[in-house]
């Protein structure tokens, strides 16, 4: 049967159409597969950067971070990935870094080259300029004699400490709007080696460290954003007028160990520093406390100068002052105005030791808690010298010239909060009476004590430590029951005296007993019956013989950790030496026989 021609023609058209559609779908799938391959080929360089290689002996644990610290490299690594962002090369032997070596590291943010052997000749300026993402540059402890002329504007922190720098250029640190901290200490910088506008265009600098150089003047035009400024260990003689006038954010200023005198500054040198809290002017050539100190100052270092007087109005405006350090000067009490400390209600720590004070100065700050007057020439303590120091907790009067007759028996009557008193190194013959009941530590060593007045230690229930060493005390020097009221005593030092026996009736709380360098000749079984909690007993350099120490004296001391009995102050006789040698030989023979 013949098929109609129309139907046959329709079937042919349908088959051709189906073939064309099938071929097109296959072509699209092939194109998609090719596209995937092409995209996969592009991924490593454009979509997800990866470290393709880590230099030998280095560590590349984090993405973009290469750690080659301390692996004894002598050359800059040449096979670094272009994707390196943090490069640690400190503690090696690298002598030079070229432009070519840095030019590929366009993503670098941190470069640490400290503690190598880099010289200025081996460090090409143009290399750093190309690193337009570099934020942190560490070049400390190398051999640079000049700073790079150009550093990238992206810089946040630069450390050039401990080099041999003599020159810094205008664009080394200038035009760096993000720059926060600069470290230039321990170099050889002079005034001539610094540009006039060293930080021009770098208005965000907060920390500048220029200590241990050879500067004679404080640089001008410092950024107003600085809050910490170090110029210690220089040759500073003068602070130019208004050198600090724009530093309204400055909180810490270090000027110690220079050559500054009162003539090298004026009344406005510090007056504009409204945020200043810490000022160190120690170890300079000041003859008087500077004027114009800012009101907000909290800690003031003036020690190790030649200050011989304190006027009435130089300290009183500094209302927030808490710590005042005036030790190692040439102060005399008569040259300290009686109003010098008036109004300083926050001043709690005052150091005036190693001066020429002949008496306790008048008008001391009434809120003081710590008062250090040791190593002066004070020869007397009058009834009212300390009467207004109600809040005092620590008083050190050691190594003066105080004698018992010139120590008033009521001198300490108002010091009801006093916890620590040091009277060591004076010329006291008798332990003062009327000591505060609040005492926790009492030191009266290196005197000439030969008597403890009746009741001098009475009712001192808070006393934890007594040091009476290096005096002339005997057992008869102590009144009966002298130790009984000391219910908190843990440390008793009676070394360097003239005791013939271990003191009796010591408090039960005692933990450490120092009796070395006395005249003790025996330790009976009952010596430590009253001190079951003792941890350390020191009997060295006495007159003890082996037979004079009864072992049972220590058998009940369950907490004993240290027992120091020898050597004695008397040398053994020749016969004793021979006996000891014989005993040792016999023991060796017995051991060999076994």
Q: Which residues of 442-475 are buried (b: 16+ CB within 10 A; e: fewer)?
A: bbbbbbebbbbbeebbbebebbbbbbbbbbebbe
Q: Residue 459's pLDDT band (boundaries 50, 70, 90)?
A: confident
- As a whole number, mean pLDDT of residues 423-442 equals 97
- 184, 158 contact by CB (below 8 A): no
Is pLDDT above 50 for 41? no
Give percent helix, percent strand, percent coil of the chain, each to the nearest 5: 15, 15, 70
Write out pLDDT tens, residues 567-577. 754 333 344 44
Write out pLDDT tens, residues 329-368. 999 999 999 999 999 999 999 999 999 999 999 999 999 9
Q: Cα(180)–Cα(156) distance, rounded to whole angstroms?
A: 5
Is pLDDT above 50 for 92? yes
More confident residue, 78 or 254: 254
Write out pLDDT tens, residues 158-183. 999 999 999 999 999 999 999 999 99
Residue with tokens 């640490």: 112
Q: Is the previous residue joined to 567 through a cis bond, with omega within 30 degrees of 0?
A: yes
Q: Cα(169)–Cα(347) distance, rounded to whole angstroms?
A: 44
Output the CA angle 443-447-453, nearest 5 degrees: 75
Q: Residue 385's pLDDT band (boundaries 50, 70, 90)?
A: very high
Is pLDDT above 70 for 73? yes
Query: Where is 16: in which H helix or E strand?
Result: helix 5-46
**Rg of the Cα atoms in the chain:** 40
- As a whole number, mean pLDDT of residues 275-295 equals 97
Q: Cα(185)–Cα(234) distance, rounded to whole angstroms?
A: 10
- As a whole number, mean pLDDT of residues 5-20 equals 41
Instruction: Name the DSSP letter for residue 362.
Output: T
Percent of the chain with pLDDT over 70: 87
Task: Please enumerate in sequence order all residues whose Cβ is within 8 A of that of 114, keeping only pairs 6 or more positions apart, or say none.
Answer: 90, 91, 138, 139, 140, 141, 142, 159
Is pLDDT above 90 for 484? no
Q: Cα(370)–Cα(41) distance, rounded to whole angstroms?
A: 74
pTM (two decimals): 0.84
Q: Cα(539)–Cα(553) distance, rounded to whole angstroms?
A: 13
Residue with tokens 């908190």: 488
Q: Residue 53's pLDDT band (boundaries 50, 70, 90)?
A: confident
Average pLDDT, the chain: 88
Is pLDDT above 70 for 125? yes
Query: Where is 21: in which H helix or E strand?
Result: helix 5-46
Is pLDDT above 80 for 47? no
- 303, 282 contact by CB (below 8 A): yes
Residue with tokens 């400190």: 90
Specify the 3-state DSSP secondary structure of 143: strand
Output the CA angle 33-39-44, nearest 5 degrees: 140
- 495, 515 contact by CB (below 8 A): yes
Write out pLDDT tens, residues 386-421. 999 999 999 999 999 999 999 999 999 999 999 999
- As a whole number, mean pLDDT of residues 571-594 equals 43
Quote the tokens at residue 39: 């995209």
Q: Residue 113's pLDDT band (boundaries 50, 70, 90)?
A: very high
Q: In the prediction, which pLDDT does 23 show?
A: 39
- As a whole number, mean pLDDT of residues 135-155 equals 97
Specify the 3-state DSSP secondary structure of 458: coil
- As a whole number, mean pLDDT of residues 552-556 equals 93
Is pLDDT above 50 for 506? yes
Specify the 3-state DSSP secondary structure of 585: helix
- 545, 568 contact by CB (below 8 A): yes
């Amino acid at each position: 049967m013949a098929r109609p021609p129309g139907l046959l023609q329709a079937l042919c058209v349908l088959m051709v159409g189906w073939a064309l559609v099938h071929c097109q779908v296959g072509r699209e799938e092939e194109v998609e597969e090719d596209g995937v391959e092409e995209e996969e080929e592009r991924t490593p360089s454009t979509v997800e950067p990866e470290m393709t290689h880590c230099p030998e002996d280095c560590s590349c644990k984090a993405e973009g971070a290469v750690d080659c610290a301390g692996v004894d490299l002598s050359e800059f690594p040449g096979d670094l990935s272009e994707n390196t962002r943090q490069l640690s090369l400190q503690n090696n032997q690298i002598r030079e870094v070229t432009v070519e070596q840095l030019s590929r590291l366009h993503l670098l943010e941190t470069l640490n080259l400290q503690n190598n052997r880099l010289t200025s000749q081996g460090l090409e300026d143009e290399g750093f300029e190309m690193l337009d993402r570099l934020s942190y540059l560490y070049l400390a402890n190398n051999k640079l004699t000049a700073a790079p002329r150009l550093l990238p504007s992206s810089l946040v922190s630069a450390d050039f400490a401990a080099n041999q720098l003599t020159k810094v250029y205008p664009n080394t640190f200038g035009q760096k709007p993000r720059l926060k901290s600069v470290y230039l200490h321990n170099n050889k910088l002079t005034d001539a080696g610094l540009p006039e506008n060293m930080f021009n265009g770098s208005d965000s600098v907060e920390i500048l460290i220029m200590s241990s150089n050879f500067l004679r003047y404080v640089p001008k035009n410092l950024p107003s954003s600085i809050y910490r400024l170090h110029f210690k260990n220089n040759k500073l003689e003068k602070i130019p007028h208004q050198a600090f006038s724009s530093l309204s954010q400055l909180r810490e200023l270090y000027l110690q160990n220079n050559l500054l005198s009162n003539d090298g500054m004026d009344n406005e040198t510090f007056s504009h520093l409204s945020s200043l809290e810490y000022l160190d002017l120690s170890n300079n050539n000041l003859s008087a406390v500077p004027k114009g100190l800012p009101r907000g100052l909290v800690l003031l270092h003036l020690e190790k100068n030649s200050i011989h007087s304190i006027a009435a109005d130089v300290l009183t405006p500094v209302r927030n002052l808490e710590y005042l350090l005036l030790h190692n000067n040439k102060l005399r009490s008569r040259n300290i105005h009686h109003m010098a400390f008036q109004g300083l209600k926050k001043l709690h720590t005052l150091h005036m030791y190693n001066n020429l004070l002949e008496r306790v100065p008048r008008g001391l700050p009434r809120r003081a808690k710590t008062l250090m007057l040791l190593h002066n020439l004070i020869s007397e303590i009058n009834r009212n010298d300390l009467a207004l120091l109600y809040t005092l907790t620590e008083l050190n009067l050691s190594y003066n010239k105080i004698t018992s007759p010139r120590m008033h028996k009521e001198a300490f009557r108002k010091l009801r909060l006093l916890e620590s008193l040091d009277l060591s190194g004076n010329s006291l013959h008798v332990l003062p009476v009327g000591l505060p009941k609040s005492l926790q530590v009492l030191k009266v060593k290196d005197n000439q004590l030969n008597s403890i007045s009746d009741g001098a230690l009475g009712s001192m229930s808070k006393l934890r430590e007594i040091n009476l060493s290096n005096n002339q005390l005997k057992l008869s020097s102590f009144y009966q029951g002298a130790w009984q009221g000391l219910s908190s005593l843990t440390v008793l030092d009676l070394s360097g005296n003239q005791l013939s026996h271990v003191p009796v009736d010591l408090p039960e709380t005692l933990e450490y007993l120092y009796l070395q360098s006395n005249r003790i000749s025996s330790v009976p079984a009952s010596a430590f019956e009253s001190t079951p909690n003792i941890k350390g007993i020191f009997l060295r350099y006495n007159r003890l013989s082996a037979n004079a120490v009864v072992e049972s004296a220590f058998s009940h001391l369950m907490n004993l950790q240290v027992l120091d009995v020898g050597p004695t102050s008397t040398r053994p006789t020749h016969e004793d030496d021979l006996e000891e040698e014989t005993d040792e030989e016999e023991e060796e023979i017995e051991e060999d026989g076994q």
